[in-house]
Amino acid sequence: MISTLDIRIEKVGQSRISEMDFHHIEFARKYSDHMFIADYDGKEWKDFRIIPYGNIEVSPANPAIHYGQSIFEGLKAYKGENGQVLIFRPDKNYERMNKSAERMMMPQLPRELFIDAMHELINLDRDWVPDVAGTSLYIRPFMFATDEFIGVRPSDTYRYMIITCPVGAYYPKPVKVKIEEHFTRAVKGGTGYAKTAGNYAASLYPAWLAQQQGYDQLIWTDGQQHRYIEEAGTMNLMFMIDDTLITAPTGDTILAGVTRDSVLTLARDWGVKVEERPLEVQELLAAIKEGRLQEAFGTGTAATIAHIEAIGYRDEQYNLDLGERHFSDKVLETLDAIRTGKAEDKYGWNYIV
């Protein structure tokens, strides 16, 4: 017990871990034995407990269901040497969770509630952290409104929970993405930077339309002119053009990805030229046609580094036969080595359980 929190722990009678085949993990299909729960009563967080994973009961008048007052995070724990468990950059997710909470009129989480509760939960379920290459334990902290009231106003009460599940690749193979010019993911002044449920719900229909045309995901463009590349919703986007790594700047409409930040940190450290700036769709298309696009990939906790093999624009599909992916492959290899404790953690990214 490391925590200063008073957590009640009720362990499962019988672990379900024997149901897991760690060599064939489907993304987020099986959940670990336990989950963490805390409740906010309008004044303070209380009733901290770790209990067996299972269904929960909410009022049918729950405002998270009706108006989407709901936020979440995604992070990963890795198995290191000698059974050590390492959580990757949880402080970044903690900061972002509270930014999302502020935007959605939800209470702030004290750091120990985010970090210490996660520590206790992962420690208890540490056998669920897989040690097969390319796998990890996905950690999903989330908070939602719990009042019994269908008026449109912030809820007084909330629940915070953490569930975890062993995962493999979110995108098991390189992705095909389509540049979206009609629908909009986020606008200036909106909620694009917050990790809130509605952002994802709103993306489902446009993504489904693209999937009917054989694409995996969308490249969202800015909501005003559909002229600049933003992100993919499930991941930030990066392009290596003329030896320069280009990605959209964070702001109102872009989620400040932890993997995004880690990739940019490594790139700068390696002396790669980095530009965080609006990238015009036409500039990207010109780079593809002129053979100047060297690499295209998404970055995200779930997605890790997802190579892009094709980009759709209007009626055209550009197949990216880009050859060696020097930078993104090196990034993935380096991140994997740091996250599993095989390489020096010189940035202090790992939180050890």
Q: Tell me: does residue 98 bind ligand COI (CB under 6 A).
A: no
Which amino acid belongs to residue 111? R
Rounded least distance, CB 193 to ligand COI, Å: 14
Rounded least distance, CB 301 to ligand COI, Å: 4
Number of residues that bind ligand COI (CB under 6 A): 6
Rounded least distance, CB 200 to ligand COI, Å: 7
Query: Which run of H or of E encompasses 255?
Result: none
Q: Distance (Å, rounded) from C-alpha 174 to C-alpha 171?
A: 7
Q: Which is nearer to ligand COI, 233 or 312 (CB)?
A: 233
Q: Which is nearer to ligand COI, 136 or 221 (CB)?
A: 136
Return the residue nearest ligand COI (CB atom). 74
Rounded least distance, CB 186 to ligand COI, Å: 15
State the Cα torsion 114-116-117-120 to the nearest 10°: 150
Rounded least distance, CB 284 to ligand COI, Å: 22
Q: Distance (Å, rounded) from C-alpha 327 to C-alpha 285?
A: 21
Q: Which is nearer to ligand COI, 35 or 75 (CB)?
A: 75
Residues from 280 through 339 that contact ligand COI (CB under 6 A): 300-303
Rounded least distance, CB 300 to ligand COI, Å: 4
Q: Distance (Å, rounded) from C-alpha 127 to C-alpha 17?
A: 8
C-beta of residue 160 within 8 angstroms of C-beta of residue 45: yes
Residues from 231 through 260 that contact ligand COI (CB under 6 A): 234
Query: Which run of H or of E encompasses 200?
Result: helix 197-212
Crossing angle of helices 90-103 and 111-124, in 10° steps, is 130
Q: Distance (Å, rounded) from C-alpha 120 to C-alpha 143?
A: 18
Q: Distance (Å, rounded) from C-alpha 53 to C-alpha 38?
A: 14
Q: Which is nearer to ligand COI, 196 or 234 (CB)?
A: 234
Contacts with ligand COI by CB under 6 A lie at 74, 234, 300-303
